[in-house]
A = this chain, B = another copy of it.
Amino acid sequence: MRNVLLSPGSHRTAGVLDDTALVGAMLQVEVAWVRALARVGVVDGDLAAKVAKVAADREVDVAALAAESEAAGNAVVPLVRHLREAVGEDAAPVVHRGLTSQDVVDTALVLLARDALVRIGDDLAASSRALAALAERHRRTMMVGRTLTQHAVPITFGLKSAQWLSGVLDAMAEVDDVLVGLPVQCGGAAGTLALVGELTDEPLAAAQAFADELALSWPGIPWHTNRSVITRIGAAAVTACDALGVVAADVSTLCRPEIAELREGAVAGRGGSSTMPHKHNPVLSVLIRSVALQAPLLGAQLHLAAAQAVDERPDGAWHSEWPALVRLLEAGVTAASQAAELTAGLEVDTERMEERVAAAADELLSERGGGGEPSDYLGSTDAFIDTVLARVPEQRAAHG
């Protein structure tokens, strides 16, 4: 295991994005391809079943595979070699037949991304329910509005929650959009499926069967050098981190002892300090904020790769996508999971909020020219909360 320690909370992604999951996904892709060839009649069904069984039983030494990966520039070449050895002489020739390494890596990463995005979406949904409840419950809980760090006009904590929620709902929508129609990569050596065309008169049927096996879509053309699939996955994860980053940054500020309007839910052992017993650090917020500062650059890395996807398969740009994509998904899964917990447990000191409003009433009403009560100067707060609450979906669709 490596550098888990430097991403606190990343244990929440266990099994989804690590090298073992990646090897599993690559083997799943290789098996799906052999089965697809069987479905179009190129390969005997028994051979396909044998490959599937051997792959399922296989234990892969990830460290050894990593060392072997450099020579070919990716892990597929040695993995296929091992798999061919394991399936025996009869099945060996059909393994990976007609594919190129990029078909396997890209499709495996799409599988990992699907799992990660489903988790992110589920956890965003959990946050959205918690935030909707806060928006409803605190619809009229008075709070000072703050702009450029200074007191402005009054708001309610319900409105603040609704604003957080609007960001989370936008992110959910983007995640769900991306999850629809995630594609297989299937192009062969230079994106023509030429070798597959030697095996069958219906290479496109094979590509479709491949997609069906994996519950992905077949986009009708390979996308070796058109990386919008990857950049859109990345953008959804970054947008999720953006929305959660805003929540975390606000919570972190509102937890400052001088403000103390919010407090992260107490969890035994969390947020403590080894030497200062009084401390209650907003740990989840700190960690979510930390991830939100990282996601944008990881997303940019994917675009940089996309913009340089030259030739029929590129010479380095493609390789630069991998660590950024997986790290970004890890960041997103971690932050979404932490945020679901943060929003569910958030403690609101309504008394403190309202005392502060009362104390600052003159300032808060200065725009109006003074007079009246802060609670009379809330404008369309209620309507805005309603607008956002109306967007919360009843139930999320299943994916994958």
Contacts and interface: CB of A to CB of B under 8 A. Distances in A.
Contacts of A167: 225-226, 228
Nearest to A294: B320
Contacts of A220: 383-384, 387
A86 interface: no
Interface residues of A, number: 169
A276 interface: yes
A290 B63 CA distance: 21
A380 interface: yes
Contacts of A308: 245-246, 249, 292-293
B387 A275 contact: no
Interface string A277-297: 111111101111111111111
A378 to B, nearest CB: 6
A316 B290 contact: yes
B242 A313 contact: no
Task: Indicate the member of A7, A80, A304 with the most B CB atoms within 10 Å.
Answer: A304
Contact of A7 (B7, B323, B366): B323
B191 A159 contact: yes
B301 A316 contact: no
Interface stretch (A48-56, A119-127, A231-239, A343-351): A231-239
How many monomers of this protein are in the complex? 4
B281 A307 contact: no
Given A66-B4, A315-B289, A366-B276, A250 B310 contact: yes
A160 B311 CA distance: 9
A397 interface: no
A6 B326 contact: yes
Nearest to A304: B296
A396 B310 CA distance: 28
A194 B377 contact: yes
Given A226-B163, A239-B231, A324-B294, A5 B311 contact: no
A217 interface: no
Contacts of A170: 226, 228
A204 to B, nearest CB: 6
A291 to B, nearest CB: 8
B67 A316 contact: no
30 contacts: A1-B66, A6-B326, A8-B69, A8-B75, A8-B319, A71-B267, A71-B272, A76-B274, A145-B189, A145-B191, A149-B253, A150-B280, A152-B312, A153-B188, A155-B191, A170-B226, A192-B377, A195-B275, A197-B378, A203-B379, A231-B238, A242-B307, A245-B307, A249-B310, A250-B310, A253-B310, A290-B316, A293-B316, A297-B298, A299-B303
Given A153-B192, A170-B226, 10 more contacts: A3-B17, A71-B269, A147-B189, A147-B313, A149-B286, A195-B368, A231-B235, A293-B305, A293-B316, A294-B301
